[in-house]
Structure 1
Amino acid sequence: MSKPKVAVLRPDDARIDEAIRYLQSLGVSPAADPMLTICSTGHRPRQADYCIFTSKTGVELAVEHGWQPDGGAVCAVGRQTATALRNRGYTVDVLPSTFTSTGLVEELSDAVEGATVEIARSAHGSDVLIRGLEEAGADVHETHLYRLERPSTAGRSISLAVEGELDGILFTSPKTVDHFFDIAAEQDRTSILQQKLEQTIVGAIGTPTERALLTKAVAVDIKPGTVGFERLAENVVQGIDDERG
């Protein structure tokens, strides 16, 4: 029996290379199709009583452009973001028990009345943090550290799916879903793609990514309880093995 083929759509940087190696270690054939290019804005976070990071990428770009916490509390939405901060020598003052924007709002809501809050993230974040923290009485500012654009080379995974050659596919962010289906729409293949994905093990990281797929009428087969890529890959490969019997 041939190796299962699994599409991976991570950004076109070290993450896609790591994903390929990890999928190979699980005994599958990776189909790399980066759906995101990270474009830095060159901005850095403002000083504030609380500075919130929502991604490892945001941390890396902020540090690259000279950000220092300068006495304010440093907050991370999730474990990977917190690890990125600690690896660069920063103390993480606030890490919610629930690794979501809503979880962070709940963690901070009793503490931020009258405080300044800086949200340092991509240009594509939801308004959950801003709305929730403003309702808690904070003075909120947002700095866009990067944009997520679609590589000109993206689209291989759509062709493989339509041809019935994919056993699994890994969606790691809502923006990945958007770009995937934008390409399908441009190629007038949305309907056939949706049909073919019914025969594919579809994996998603996190509720926002799952929700994005559901809006495209795609059922999610695998959504791990944690947001790490490795767990997603492992669970999808296990799902494929179960299907194959």
Structure 2
Amino acid sequence: MSELLRGKGVVVTRPKEQSAELIALLEAAGAHPIPFPAIRIEAPENWQSLDAALDGLARFRWAIFSSRNAVQFALSRLQGRAQEWPKSVQVAAVGRETARALKDFGLSVDLVPDRFSSEGLLEHPALREVQGVGVAIFAGDQGRELLEHTLSERGALVEKVYCYRRSVPGANPTPLLHAWARGELHAVTVTSPEIFNNFYQMVGGLGQRWLKNTPIVAISPLTAEAVTAKGLPAPWVAPEASNQGLLQALRDWAKHMEDSER
């Protein structure tokens, strides 16, 4: 298994600030990571929404963090304002990596779903009976509204708190396209629908044609849907929404290729 990815060029499309762990895992597996951030994470244009939520945290029973970015921006802001997290507010994370980021800030995490997704959170019994319950969802712009809509339908008093914004990087795709043309690019990893759509836009018509014959590894079924929506072949999907899950899906792909060549 350890040799399956040796020498394989794997594009890492995560934002630069969040790609180190996946790059390290790929290098340890013998792969050649090719960083090409397809999303830029920036502070919100103003802090009014976040500051208002932080000032009134005690009115919520639950605070749901949708990503590591939400954790980073919200809790850095909290610490910068010399505020403490109220013990009465329970904390939920959409997945393991988000939970780890919360623990790095010293918060205990009350809920992490078995299935790392918004759907997984909504399946949890703690979020089923929420009539009249205050829920803050810390998230970025352009994100999904499933949590907000479903919890509101269940009677929760939901407040969406925007902590950061996303934009398309202005990176030059030419070096990536040259590597692709030389046969040095063997697979592409994508970790959100936004990242995939940005990547698809950034590589232009030539890259879009090559993507039809390049394996794509998606972190979740939702991200996989964004790939097939462009008319591309179904991607390999990570067994769990994490860097380890991406690595396992890459190994599954490499094993399939190895077996098919025998």
TM-score class normalised by the smaller sequence = 0.7 to 0.9
> Would you say 1:228 and 2:246 are equivalent positions?
no
Contact 2:239 2:248 in 1 (8 A): no
Would the alpha carbon gap of residues 58 and 40 (structure 1) be closer, same or farther in structure 2, given more than 3 Å must change? same
Name the SS of the counterpart of 1:27 in structure 2. Answer: coil
Amino acid at match of 1:74: V
CA distance in 1, matches of 2:178, 2:225: 23
CA distance in 2, matches of 1:164, 1:209: 25
Name the SS of the counterpart of 2:237 in structure 1. Answer: coil
Alignment match, 1:208: 222
CA distance in 2, matches of 1:165, 1:121: 36
How many residue pairs were aligned? 238
CA distance in 2, matches of 1:39, 1:96: 27
Instruction: Pick one of 115, 133, 147 that aligns with 1:98.
Output: 115
List gaps (5 residues or longer) in structure 1.
Answer: none
> Would you say 1:18 and 2:21 are equivalent positions?
yes
CA distance in 2, matches of 1:109, 1:237: 35
Shift of 1:120: 0.4
List gaps (5 residues or longer) in structure 2.
Answer: 1-5
Shift of 1:54: 1.1
The percent identity for this pair of structures is 27
Would the alpha carbon gap of residues 218 and 177 (structure 1) be closer, same or farther in structure 2, given more than 3 Å must change? same
1:125-136 paired onto structure 2 within 5 Å: 125-136=143-154
Alignment match, 2:68: 56
What CA deviation, in whole Å up to 9, does each residue of 1:200-243 have, x standing for no partner?
A: 22100012211111111122342121111133134314523542
Amino acid at match of 2:62: Y
> Would you say 1:183 and 2:197 are equivalent positions?
no
1:43-82 paired onto structure 2 within 5 Å: 43-44=50-51, 45-46=53-54, 47=57, 48-66=60-78, 68-70=84-86, 71-82=88-99
Shift of 1:194: 4.2
Alignment match, 1:35: 38
What CA deviation, in whole Å up to 9, does each residue of 1:134-178 have, x standing for no partner?
A: 110011111110112222125354554466542111111111111
Shift of 1:199: 2.6
Shift of 1:64: 0.6
Would the alpha carbon gap of residues 137 and 154 (structure 1) be closer, same or farther in structure 2, given more than 3 Å must change? farther
Contact 2:122 2:128 in 1 (8 A): no
CA distance in 2, matches of 1:220, 1:158: 22
Alignment match, 2:165: 147
Amino acid at match of 1:176: I
Contact 2:239 2:249 in 1 (8 A): no
